[in-house]
Amino acid sequence: MFNIYKSIENEIVGLDKIEKGAWINLVNPTGKEIIDFSEKLNIPVEHLKAALDEEERARIEVDDDCTIVLIDVPVASADALERGIYYTIPLGIIITHENIVTVSLRESSVLRPFFESKVKSFWTYKKTRFLLQILYRNSKVYLQYLRNIDKTSDIIENKLHKSLKNEELIQLLELEKSLVYFSTSLKSNEIVLEKIQRTNLIKMYPDDMELLEDVIIENKQAIEMANIYSNILTGTMDAYASVISNNLNMVMKFLTSVTIIISIPTMCASFFGMNVDVPLKNNPHAFLIIFMMSILFSVILSVFMLRKELF
């Protein structure tokens, strides 16, 4: 699937064909679409296919006819708000002499505000600034998803206070995996940003340099948040694993104590039910006496266990 957009009089307009200064957005393109756009825009096929590999690393490359910037963008699963499951996919941003092309496997909330005209000072023909705006928006989305993960972890922790099951711990493990993905991707993006700042691979004006610095600051903040949340979550999982184990031990201790107390009447009934000479065998109230004695022994044992905090 592909869409073509262009800024015309401060508005984003969809086009049917490629024009100078247009933005081409490719989402999981077919092989035919890749070949067609490769020929029309004079972009190597491997550049267009690079973002379609989920294992592709973030990087920046400069050719004679185009510049490709690969970054990792966050993607939320269908039940992200409930379970907090997020992952990252590559996003390819290719700058040619006349156009800018974005390629990804799935639609991302990073690019949605651009074609919905929700980004200020955005023009498709200002390719360098558009690139930096995408990078800035990407860092913002990371920060938003990190806050969502933090809220989800608080909800799960509240459930864990009353739980003896592993389901909540598994959800926390999924959150931790999301944080690991985020932390790894943000560090890869940081390398790309520092390379853009350190070299002259992309021509930038003073305003662009200021925006790039803002992007680097936001990305560093996202890295710090991901590391902090990951450390907190790791400690929380260890603590609640111990709590669940301790709660289970308390239940087992209670059941063991109850079993011991109940075994006294059973033992007395078994003893006096044997076919041998036993005390009180000719007493008409023998059953009542034995029953009361077993209850008395059980009460005494219960009081002893309570004092020793064995319950």
Lowest mean pLDDT among 144-148, 290-294, 295-299: 290-294
pLDDT at residue 138 tops 90: yes
* pLDDT at res. 144: 92
Span 51-56, mean pLDDT?
85
Write the CB contacts of 54 (distance below 8 Å, at least 6 apart in sequence).
Answer: 89, 90, 105
Residues 28 and 160 in one domain: yes
Instruction: Please tell me the predicted confidence (pLDDT) of residue 215.
Output: 92
Asked if 121 and 74 sit in the same domain, the reply is yes
Let me know whether 77 and 129 are in one domain: yes
- Indicate whether 176 and 285 sit together in one domain: no
Among 90, 102, 89, residue whose Cα is nearest residue 37: 102
Per-residue pLDDT at 186: 92
Average pLDDT score over residue span 242-268? 75
User: Are 141 and 218 within one domain?
Assistant: yes
Band (90; pLDDT cuts 50, 70, 90): very high
13 and 137 together in one domain: yes
Q: Which of 69, 118, 126, 133 is nearest to 99 (CA)?
A: 126
pLDDT for residue 7 = 83
Are 98 and 50 contained in the same domain? Answer: yes
CATH code (residue 100)? 3.30.460.20
Give the end of a domain, one of 217, 246, 275: 246
Count of domains observed in the chain: 2
Q: Which residues of 198-223 are buried (b: 16+ CB within 10 A; e: fewer)?
A: eeeebebeeebeebbeebbebbeebb
Per-residue confidence band for 151, with pLDDT thresholds at 50, 70 and 90: confident
Question: Which one of 208, 228, 246 terminates a domain?
Answer: 246
Mean of all residue pLDDT scores within the chain: 82
Same structural domain for residues 116 and 261? no
* pTM greater than 0.85: no
Query: Based on the domain organization, do 78 and 202 belong to the same domain?
Result: yes
Distances, alpha carbon 306 to alpha carbons 63, 247, 253, 300, in Å? 80, 18, 12, 10
Residue 295: give the domain boundaries. Answer: 253-307
Confidence of residue 259 (pLDDT cuts 50, 70, 90): confident
Question: 184-212, pLDDT tens digit by residue?
Answer: 999 999 999 988 888 777 878 788 888 88
Which of 222, 246, 270 is a domain's end point? 246
| Structure tokens, 183 | 């932390």
Q: Is the domain of 225 the same as that of 301?
A: no
pLDDT at residue number 83 = 64
